Amino acid sequence: MVAEGGSAGGLLMGAITNLAPDRFAGILAAVPFVDALTSILDPDLPLTVIEWDEWGDPLHDPEVYDYMATYTPYENVADDASAYPKILAVTSLNDTRVLYVEPAKWVARLRDAGAPVRLKIEMQAGHGGVSGRYESWRERAFEIAWILEVLRLSDAENAETTAAPAPVES
């Protein structure tokens, strides 16, 4: 099974990766909010202060800080993450909601801990990904190809199973 989520759903992807790495073959995290604690501690970021109503204010409330630290993906990467599922983190350079540094920092920590992880940074995209129908389709095709590879359903990995079936003798 491959789990997929983006933005705050990307935070969920990071959390389930840390909590139950053996339950998934792969994790696709799109513009993942995986360094939430660091970001929400910075009131100069565009969404931080307005998000305090929903998330709490870890900058001024130690209880909120301690609680967030229990589940935020970046802070909870295992020291040995070699048993983690394959991870694809996709982010965008021009995202003002989840800055590209969050998944980049998370991926660096995952790699240091031995996790099998790939990072793709879209250079012309924002929080919603690339614009344009064909570019969007191309991006989704890349993600689906990765999922098929992880699930070992790609043509390259199953050449003998994708060949034409033998004729049936009557």
Structure tokens at 108: 């660096």
Which member of 7, 57, 136, 154 is catalytic? 7
Total Cβ atoms within 10 A of residue 66? 10
Q: Is 7 noted as a catalytic residue in this protein?
A: yes
Rounded to a whole number of angstroms, the distance between the first and last alpha carbons of the chain is: 39
The 8-class DSSP code of residue 35 comes to: T
Which member of 35, 39, 92, 95 is catalytic? 95
CB within 8 Å of 95: residues ≥ 6 apart: 31, 125, 126, 127
| Phi, psi torsion values for 26, nearest 5 degrees | -155, 160
Q: Is 154 noted as a catalytic residue in this protein?
A: no
Q: Which amino acid is at 97?
A: R
Q: Kind of pairing, strands 86-92 and 2-6?
A: unpaired
Which member of 57, 127, 136, 154 is catalytic? 127
Q: Is 170 noted as a catalytic residue in this protein?
A: no
Please give the Cα distance from 61 to 73 (Å, whole number).
20
Structure tokens at 63: 């209880």
Catalytic residues: 7, 95, 127
